[in-house]
Structure 1
Amino acid sequence: MAAKKKILTKEDIVSMYMNDVLEKGEKLKSVFQFVKGKDFSEAEFYAFFGTLEGLEKEIFKLFLVNTIDLLHKNTDYQDYDMKNKMLSFYFTFFEILTANRSFVLLALKNDSNPIKNLKQLSALRESFKEYVAEILTDDYRIEQERLQKFQEKSLQESAWIQLMLTIKFWMDDVSPAFEKTDIFIEKSVNASFELMNIAPINHLIDLGKFLFKEKIYSK
């Protein structure tokens, strides 16, 4: 009696793709190249992903999904304030990135055009912004009474920029156990929340515009 074929999952495809990329030392060029020699067809691949690009985007989104799953398994997490939830997110997310560092470095340094590199993070970006909106507490909204919808979106965007800066710092970090990244995370998250508590976001935007003009016109 023939052995029953294992049911293919999205996670199986992601794992096999990451392994193939690491073994070849470069991104794969086509779905045909990816499925060649495997026990599933192109048609089965397309049941989960429309393109290899879509698969690559999903990988970085899954890093975030796995991070949030781990956070929710911590019974104390729900009682954390917004800043400590964000710190917990960062440390857990970068533990997952570090466990997959070889793939992440290859994927994000593959193209000299930074815009193309950022494109594969688009699914991560949307999911991260949803996470920021989720942990934006009622206490914070009460403290910032003038916070409007467009300002909340600005907060999500600034949080995304901070995450991108941290990823870049981590990619360049050569310290043992990436201890400098841990320090960067703690200092940058603490600083961002201190700024949010000092003044409304509008004031921070005005300050940013002022500093930008001073930098431009002082040359």
Structure 2
Amino acid sequence: MKNIDASQQKILELYSNYVLRNNKKPLNVFTFCEDHEISETDFYFYYANFEKLESDYLRFFMEETLRLIAEEENYHQQNAKHKMLSFYYTFFEQLTMNRSLVIYLLESDKNNLQNVKRLLPLKKDFQLFIRSLDISEPMMENTTESMAKIERLKNKGIEELYWGHFMATLKFWLDDTSSNFEKTDIFIEKSVDTSFEFLEVKPLKKLVDLGKFLFKEVKNNR
């Protein structure tokens, strides 16, 4: 794995092998370390518990995806929609290569993924990626504090909207039984396309513009 040392990689590999063979967590950190001749001190140096360790797998798939798409020819010249498609196709390719592990990590919670704590670090990374696409509009220099609050609320809404879409795609992939998960690819294409059509209509921008107008009118009429 990227950005980890040999000791941490050993812990992750031993843990993934254990849960895939036994379909359950080890009894506790002590037994896991004793069975694999690892120092508990070494384990706790990296992870406070098994849940923190499990979230590292999902973050790795995210990091690896971002690294791979950044290396694609002309990626940085592509528009936001094509960058998002590249991200989705590459991310779910990473998951497919590790499907057994991902199913173990998420299967029991797949109907309520929004509340899975181990996904929170992944959410932060994903929202940073969404911000990098510049889907949201920058605030103008003369923006008032009230207008700025509306802009921040709109931008946060866009991030939450796409996180919900990401969770829906993950759930679809977990349930997908089609050959080579081709239905997930179709879902990605159609849903990303629809989401950008929604943004191009700019209902949120129109709402913000209305808010700006109302604030201006209230200020002028004081």
TM superposition score category, shorter chain reference:
0.7 to 0.9
Of residues 167, 178, 183 in structure 2, which corresponds to 1:180? 183
Amino acid of the structure 1 residue aligned with 2:152 = K
> How far 1:203 moved relative to its partner?
6.0
CA pair 202-27 structure 1, distance change in 2 beyond 3 A: farther
Q: Is the 8 A contact 1:26 1:110 kept in 2?
A: no
Q: Is the 8 A contact 1:57 1:123 kept in 2?
A: yes
In structure 2, C-alpha distance between the alignment counterparts of 1:115 and 1:90, rounded to whole Å:
18
Segments of structure 2 that go 5 or more residues without pairing to the other structure are: 209-222
- The secondary structure found in structure 1 opposite 2:137 is helix
Match of 2:198 in 1: 195
Match of 1:215 in 2: none
Match of 2:158 in 1: 155
In structure 2, C-alpha distance between the alignment counterparts of 1:158 and 1:116, rounded to whole Å:
12
In structure 2, C-alpha distance between the alignment counterparts of 1:112 and 1:69, rounded to whole Å:
27
In structure 2, C-alpha distance between the alignment counterparts of 1:163 and 1:116, rounded to whole Å:
10
Of residues 9, 12, 20 in structure 2, which corresponds to 1:11? 9
> Of the two, which has the highest radius of gyration?
2
Amino acid of the structure 2 residue aligned with 1:105 = I
Q: Is the 8 A contact 2:110 2:171 kept in 1?
A: no
CA RMSD of aligned residues (A): 2.6
> How far 1:33 moved relative to its partner?
2.8
Match of 1:141 in 2: 137
Deviations 1:76-101 (A, max 9, x none): 21111111110000000000110111
> How far 1:16 moved relative to its partner?
2.0
Amino acid of the structure 2 residue aligned with 1:193 = F
Bigger share in helix: 2
CA pair 113-28 structure 1, distance change in 2 beyond 3 A: farther
- The secondary structure found in structure 2 opposite 1:106 is helix
Structure 1 residue 95 corresponds to structure 2 residue 93: yes
Q: Is the 8 A contact 1:57 1:121 kept in 2?
A: yes
Task: Among all aligned residue pairs of Structure 1 and Structure 2, give the percentage whose two residues are the same amino acid.
Answer: 37
In structure 1, C-alpha distance between the alignment counterparts of 2:83 and 2:113, rounded to whole Å:
30
Deviations 1:103-156 (A, max 9, x none): 11121123588369622211111111111111225xx627xx988122111111
Of residues 42, 45, 64 in structure 2, which corresponds to 1:44? 42
Of residues 30, 33, 40 in structure 2, which corresponds to 1:32? 30
In structure 2, C-alpha distance between the alignment counterparts of 1:32 and 1:136, rounded to whole Å:
46
Match of 1:211 in 2: none
Q: Is the 8 A contact 1:110 1:117 kept in 2?
A: no
> How far 1:163 moved relative to its partner?
0.5
Of residues 66, 72, 75 in structure 2, which corresponds to 1:74? 72
- How many equivalent pairs are there? 196
